[in-house]
Amino acid sequence: MSAADPNQLDFPPVRNGVDYLVSVVDHLTADPIDPRHIKYAVLHLQAATEVLLKARLVREHWSLVFEDPGAASERAFRSADFKSCTVGEAVTRLRNIVGITITDKEQEALDALARDRNALQHYGLSHNARAVEARAGRVLDLLVRFLDDELLPGLELDEANAIGADMIHVRDGLTGVQTFVTQRLRRLRGELQGHEDRTVHCPHCEQLTLIAEGATNRCLFCGATVTTPEMMIYVYLGSPDDEGGVIDICPRCAQHTVMLDTFLATGDRVPFCFNCPGPIPTAADEPPADTPRGRP
Ligand SMILES: [Zn+2]
Ligand SMILES: [Zn+2]
């Protein structure tokens, strides 16, 4: 079942990838959805990602799926006896060699999925299920578009017919997953109302549904909690030492907890203090006590 199994290259890879996606949407749209559904959705989604991205590379040239294309041989490819490139490397080759646009955001979604897959395989579902589910939905969306743009148009008629019914099932499933997310966000709108200037992206599910409270920060979409302002900044920046001009001292509470470029539910990007949660007024916002400098 491992997606890394090079024997998979013997099978029609697009059909194989779509078959994994059928399993993914069945698990993601299960009602009720339990941790086991999430586990198999993530495992099969990662398998589909690998199969489908590499199918596009093979279409460009079979040597591109080798870990080292310079050492590729047709004989090794035919017998599926070779070390295949990683998903990350496949994305880089699709971008640089095939010329396919994969945005940084899409790349992030793929990286997050790979992390979820590894965590699941080693520790079981320790992450928040709703967050994993939301991330899986993004990759599913990406792969359906990748199929539409890059893979389905080049298929032989037989092959296209063979996966037709499965593609309808996958598209319906994707719509179901998206509807679920939309409905959930709509239900939360009332709870978030009035807190827009303290509502930021959740680092776990990436929805704009985390209300910064200072000591405890809870995401209303996925339920993840992030304790302490320092931890909020840590999860955003990846490292507490990454100061590089993005963290500043708060003029209100004097803590080193202002993130300069924080996107809020108001639609603004502003300096934001996670300790005394709220935007930091800039010179332009200050009351006209003294003459504004440098403004027309
Ligand atoms: Zn969340
Ligand atoms: Zn502050």
Beta-bridge partner residues of 258: 248, 273
| pLDDT one digit per residue (tens) for the chain, 296 residues | 344 444 444 458 899 999 999 999 999 888 888 888 989 999 999 999 999 999 999 999 999 999 999 999 999 998 888 999 999 999 999 999 999 999 888 888 899 899 889 888 887 766 677 788 888 888 999 999 999 999 999 888 888 888 999 999 999 999 988 888 888 888 899 999 999 999 998 888 888 999 999 988 999 988 888 888 988 888 776 544 544 457 889 999 999 999 988 889 999 999 999 999 999 987 665 555 554 444 44
Q: Are 182 and 46 in the same domain?
A: yes
Burial of 138 (0-12, 13-18, 19+ CB in 10 A): buried
Q: Which residues of 184-219 are buried (b: 16+ CB within 10 A; e: fewer)?
A: beeebeeebeeeebbbbbbbbbbbbbbbbbbeebbb
- Residues of the domain holding 202: 196-281
Q: Are 89 and 208 in the same domain?
A: no
Type of residue numbered 159: E
Q: Are 161 and 96 in the same domain?
A: yes
Q: In this structure, which ligand is nearest to the CA of 281?
A: 2
Q: In this structure, which ligand is nearest to the CA of 251?
A: 2
Q: Are 27 and 169 in the same domain?
A: yes
CB 12 within 8 A of CB 159: yes
> What's the 250 CA to ligand 2 centre distance in angstroms?
5
Residue with tokens 């006896």: 81
Q: In this structure, which ligand is nearest to the CA of 200?
A: 1
Q: Are 139 and 17 in the same domain?
A: yes
Per the domain annotation, does 286 fall within a domain? no
Structural domains in the chain (count): 2
- Nearest C-alpha neighbor of 90 from the set 49, 40, 44: 49
CB 294 within 8 A of CB 286: no
Per the domain annotation, does 291 fall within a domain? no
Q: In this structure, which ligand is nearest to the CA of 254?
A: 2
> What's the 229 CA to ligand 2 centre distance in angstroms?
10
Q: Are 139 and 40 in the same domain?
A: yes
